[in-house]
Chain A
Amino acid sequence: MPPEPQPSPAAPDTAAGQRATAPSHGWAERLRALGPVLGLVLLCVAGTALNSDFATLDNVMNVLTRTAFIGIIAVGMCFVIISGGIDLSVGSMAALIAGSVIMFINWAGPATGSPLMAVILGAGLAVVLGALFGLAHGLLITKGRIEPFIVTLGTLGIFRAYLTYFSNGGAITLDNELSDLYAPVYYGSLLGVQVPVWIFLVVAIVGALILNRTAYGRYVQAIGSNEQVARYAAVNVDRVKILTYVLLGVCVGIATLLYVPRLGSASPTTGLLWELEAIAAVIVGGTALKGGAGSITGTVIGAILLSVISNILNLTSIISVYLNAAVQGFVIIIVAFLQRGRR
């Protein structure tokens, strides 16, 4: 049987194949980067068609404010994932930080005699605690040579257990007058945009600058792409990795200090499953779970996309709200499917 001339899919494992696919990677890469944006646009078109309330300014602001917490954490998570790590503890960490901050402010308000000072110090404490928790993760992972999955699986339990212990299984609540003083951090707005959205924007811009325009950001990508090559190229791998966890901890601290005034309390269910939402936002945004390459813009879009899904389900009755997590799950799997064979 004479062989038919066959269509030849580019074989990535041959030098020739790589040479051949190289010229096309430019537009293919760009198309992939556009994927999440296209998805978001499609969702918005669908949302507008299904419910006239969807495209209102109020609803858009509502979605963005809800996105801010997960979005800020996802920016930090993006660094950790690009460097080849993972952090499963961020939801528990947020809960413990929230509880600690509330207890501190409740104590410091009367103790210092200045409620405003107490709130400011409390907000600072949130960031410091986040950084310290991140530092602990980083040290255990690099110097202790334990897999990030294991370390953060451990602290996931530890953080939440301590919050439950401090709250006696119930809620830790911010005192009323302090709560009023703290409220503007969540409910206040500037130029018609709520404060958390502004902070989300600033965190995302700073994150993108660090990732793309500093030596540190380049090192993060280099380590995730191939840790050995980075090590041989005189990159201080341990320090860069520790810093990614510290950065993430700081992001968790910022998200938490914005979240506390929203409800004014912390309970064992605070921040439940935030880690999965943050990781999902990063992945939906086009960052590979195995690290090496990713983008902050994509992560931000990923976070917004996921909350738009739940927003649409809330506004329409085509799919039950109870299936929210299922729809998000399908989206994550579809995105992963589209990205397969990326390298």
Chain B
Amino acid sequence: MNSITTPEAKRSVAVAFDGIVKAFGPVQVLHGVSFELQPGHVYGLLGENGAGKSTLMKILSGYEQPTAGRVRINGEAQSFADSRAAEQLGIVLIHQEFNLAEDLSVAQNIFLGHEKKKGLWLDDRRMEREAAEALAEVGLAIDPRTKVRRLIVAEKQLVEIAKALARHARLLVMDEPTATLTPGETERLFQLIARLRADGVTIVYISHKLDEVERITDEVIVMRDGRFVARAPTRELTRHQMANLMVGREIADLYPPRDAVDAAPAPALQVTAFDVPGWAKDASFEVKPGEILGFAGLVGAGRTELFEGIMGLRPGSGEVRLHGEPVQIRNPRDAADHGITYLSEDRKGKGLHVHFGLRENLTLMALKRYAQPWLKPEGERTALAEAVKEFGIRTGSLDVKASSLSGGNQQKLALAKVLHPRPRVVVLDEPTRGVDVGAKRDIYFLIQRMAREGLAVIVVSSELMELIGLCHRVAVMRAGRIVRTLHADQLTEEELIAHATGTATVASGA
């Protein structure tokens, strides 16, 4: 039975998974997972997408029930009917995708389902005060009465964490918490994690960013294909060993060798003095055929908005030349007709029709090719079979919906989709977001192959290692302006962060 703990009893939470099996219909995603978590430790839970980490954590926090096996909390077998039951024991999961009601205020969200009352009425003042305390703890300086809709993604992430704190979490599961945070915010989060740990809170930290795992966790637990694979104290493992354990094979080299760019040809894309009101100012850059140009910057620096402006997705003005010809791009159709396509950072919201089949997704941007005037499904099917092979999309059948692919394979499909109109310039916004190490490597090699074939590639990314490993040049944006363009031999994490945050000493040349 679920015992009810009082908040003041700062109990620690020890967890033991005992042969957890989970099946969705005929598909088994967890095959008898057993391991233990000691109270007051920070655990890094590693595994590729689809390894079963998220499902296991949902079972721990009451969102899913195991098909077989049991979870013991402090030695007692528990079966949570729902997440509320788990929360009563202090177990809180912070979702990777936010569970916030956009039209409610921050305070209302933090206390959603746990409202404080004074008699019949809501005690708004008390909730706002306590919400403000929780927000202060995560270092978010906003009015708790602000509507969540008005927050940027990183702030929403911090609100989610504040929500967990307000519920007196004793075991906190964080699923990719830093995916949307800036380095500064990440730093504050790490300080908070250290404080919570000192306070005896158990933390399970799920992340693809191995440098973070290395930095803040005490112990690493690796899962693969729904099974427990290994655990080891973090200090005894190198990042390379962690990655190998996750993938189950040696990652010889994550990044492809950098090709030399032919200096001779004229730029494929040349943008001069481009403005996107409120986001980007006076942006000028160019990219040659075969070149991979990176765009670095903090969240909110205006990188995505600059390219949405260039693609005609939001109002913007400035000169755009494709292969020397000035072009007018009023919408993505114009852009595609001129040979430039854009992969959005928001795969589910803007990138793929997840309820559509793979074929319909692949051909959507180049559908005219298959319509003469009737669509030729056979032609589309052939194209899909080729793309699946070329892009290494792993799928059991060609007739499934895009939603049935894993994150990495969805991303490969999205990549195949924007390349299907055979553009001469492609803009890839966060091409490896939420993608496991193996798929990342595949995508890097794909990008390199496209560049070799003469495509001009622009990569917008928040992962500095990726820009350093992949790009010929990296433009750094800060507060809507391109502050510096660095060449391959100048690329270091420190240099990029310094320019992105504006802490660089004035250096020579550009």
Are chains A and B native binding partners rather than an unrelated pairing? yes
Q: Which residues of A contact B (CB under 8 A)?
A: 1-6, 8, 10-11, 14-26, 209, 212-215, 217-219, 221-222, 225-226, 228-236, 292-293, 343
Looking at chain A's contact residues, is the secondary structure mostly helix, strand, loop, or mixed?
Answer: helix
Question: B341 to chain A: which residues have CB within 8 Å?
Answer: 234
User: Is A11 a contact partner of B64 (Cβ separation < 8 A)?
Assistant: yes
User: Is B24 a contact partner of A8 (Cβ separation < 8 A)?
Assistant: yes
User: Is B67 a contact partner of A8 (Cβ separation < 8 A)?
Assistant: yes
Q: Which residues of B contact A (CB under 8 A)?
A: 1, 22-27, 29, 49-50, 52, 54-55, 58, 63-68, 70-71, 77-79, 313, 331-333, 335-336, 341-342, 344, 349-356, 360, 364-365, 367-368, 370-371, 373-375, 396, 399-401, 403-404, 406-407, 417, 421
**A21 to B356 Cα, complex, angstroms:** 15
Given that A20-B26, A231-B313 are contacting pairs, would A1 and B406 also be in contact in the complex, using a CB cutoff of 8 Å? no
User: Is A3 a contact partner of B79 (Cβ separation < 8 A)?
Assistant: yes
In the assembled complex, 13 residue pairs joining A and B whose CB atoms fall closer than 8 Å, in A order, are A1-B79, A2-B79, A6-B79, A14-B55, A19-B29, A19-B404, A24-B25, A25-B401, A218-B367, A231-B332, A232-B342, A234-B335, A234-B421
User: Is A19 a contact partner of B67 (Cβ separation < 8 A)?
Assistant: no
User: Is A8 a contact partner of B375 (Cβ separation < 8 A)?
Assistant: no
User: Is B333 a contact partner of A26 (Cβ separation < 8 A)?
Assistant: no
Question: B374 to chain A: which residues have CB within 8 Å?
Answer: 209, 213-214
**A48 to B78 Cα, complex, angstroms:** 58
Given that A222-B364, A233-B332 are contacting pairs, would A3 and B70 also be in contact in the complex, using a CB cutoff of 8 Å? yes
Question: A232 to chain B: which residues have CB within 8 Å?
Answer: 313, 332, 342, 344, 350-351
Question: B375 to chain A: which residues have CB within 8 Å?
Answer: 212-215, 217-218
Other-chain residue from B22, B336, B353 in contact with A234 (beta carbon distance below 8 A): B336
User: Is B29 a contact partner of A16 (Cβ separation < 8 A)?
Assistant: yes
Question: B344 to chain A: which residues have CB within 8 Å?
Answer: 232
User: Is A233 a contact partner of B29 (Cβ separation < 8 A)?
Assistant: no
Give me 4 other A-B pairs in contact (C-beta within 8 A), A2-B77, A14-B58, A23-B400 excluded: A3-B71, A19-B406, A219-B367, A231-B350
Residue on A nearest B70 in the bound complex, by CB: A3
User: Is B400 a contact partner of A16 (Cβ separation < 8 A)?
Assistant: no
Question: B58 to chain A: which residues have CB within 8 Å?
Answer: 14
User: Is B29 a contact partner of A20 (Cβ separation < 8 A)?
Assistant: yes
User: Is A20 a contact partner of B331 (Cβ separation < 8 A)?
Assistant: no
**A11 to B59 Cα, complex, angstroms:** 12
Residue on B nearest A237 in the bound complex, by CB: B331
Question: A20 to chain B: which residues have CB within 8 Å?
Answer: 23-27, 29
| Closest-CB distance, A290 to chain B (whole angstroms) | 11
Other-chain residue from B68, B353, B421 in contact with A5 (beta carbon distance below 8 A): B68
**A209 to B371 Cα, complex, angstroms:** 12
Q: Which 5 A-B pairs have the closest CB atoms?
A: A20-B24, A3-B79, A22-B404, A20-B27, A234-B336
User: Is A8 a contact partner of B65 (Cβ separation < 8 A)?
Assistant: yes
User: Is B364 a contact partner of A218 (Cβ separation < 8 A)?
Assistant: yes
Question: B373 to chain A: which residues have CB within 8 Å?
Answer: 214
Residue on A nearest B352 in the bound complex, by CB: A229
Question: B360 to chain A: which residues have CB within 8 Å?
Answer: 218, 221-222
User: Is A229 a contact partner of B77 (Cβ separation < 8 A)?
Assistant: no
Residue on B nearest A232 in the bound complex, by CB: B350
| Closest-CB distance, B225 to chain A (whole angstroms) | 12
Residue on B nearest A4 in the bound complex, by CB: B79
**A225 to B365 Cα, complex, angstroms:** 15
| Closest-CB distance, A239 to chain B (whole angstroms) | 9
User: Is B399 a contact partner of A26 (Cβ separation < 8 A)?
Assistant: yes
Question: A15 to chain B: which residues have CB within 8 Å?
Answer: 49-50, 54, 406-407
**A318 to B45 Cα, complex, angstroms:** 66
Question: A6 to chain B: which residues have CB within 8 Å?
Answer: 65-67, 79
User: Is B25 a contact partner of A226 (Cβ separation < 8 A)?
Assistant: no
| Closest-CB distance, A213 to chain B (whole angstroms) | 5
Residue on A nearest B71 in the bound complex, by CB: A3
Question: B27 to chain A: which residues have CB within 8 Å?
Answer: 16, 19-20, 23
User: Is B403 a contact partner of A2 (Cβ separation < 8 A)?
Assistant: no
**A217 to B344 Cα, complex, angstroms:** 24
Question: B331 to chain A: which residues have CB within 8 Å?
Answer: 231, 234, 236
User: Is B24 a contact partner of A16 (Cβ separation < 8 A)?
Assistant: yes
User: Is A225 a contact partner of B355 (Cβ separation < 8 A)?
Assistant: yes
**A6 to B68 Cα, complex, angstroms:** 8
User: Is B404 a contact partner of A18 (Cβ separation < 8 A)?
Assistant: yes
Other-chain residue from B351, B356, B396 in contact with A225 (beta carbon distance below 8 A): B356
| Closest-CB distance, B261 to chain A (whole angstroms) | 28
**A2 to B26 Cα, complex, angstroms:** 24
**A212 to B365 Cα, complex, angstroms:** 17
Residue on B nearest A213 in the bound complex, by CB: B374
**A154 to B407 Cα, complex, angstroms:** 44
| Closest-CB distance, B97 to chain A (whole angstroms) | 9
Residue on A nearest B336 in the bound complex, by CB: A234
**A235 to B400 Cα, complex, angstroms:** 23
Given that A214-B371, A215-B375, A222-B356 are contacting pairs, would A23 and B349 also be in contact in the complex, using a CB cutoff of 8 Å? no
| Closest-CB distance, A341 to chain B (whole angstroms) | 13
Question: A226 to chain B: which residues have CB within 8 Å?
Answer: 349, 353-355
**A234 to B399 Cα, complex, angstroms:** 24
Question: A5 to chain B: which residues have CB within 8 Å?
Answer: 66-68
**A25 to B22 Cα, complex, angstroms:** 20
Residue on A nearest B28 in the bound complex, by CB: A20
Question: A230 to chain B: which residues have CB within 8 Å?
Answer: 353, 364
**A6 to B64 Cα, complex, angstroms:** 10
| Closest-CB distance, B226 to chain A (whole angstroms) | 9
**A221 to B375 Cα, complex, angstroms:** 14
Question: B77 to chain A: which residues have CB within 8 Å?
Answer: 1-3
Question: B342 to chain A: which residues have CB within 8 Å?
Answer: 232
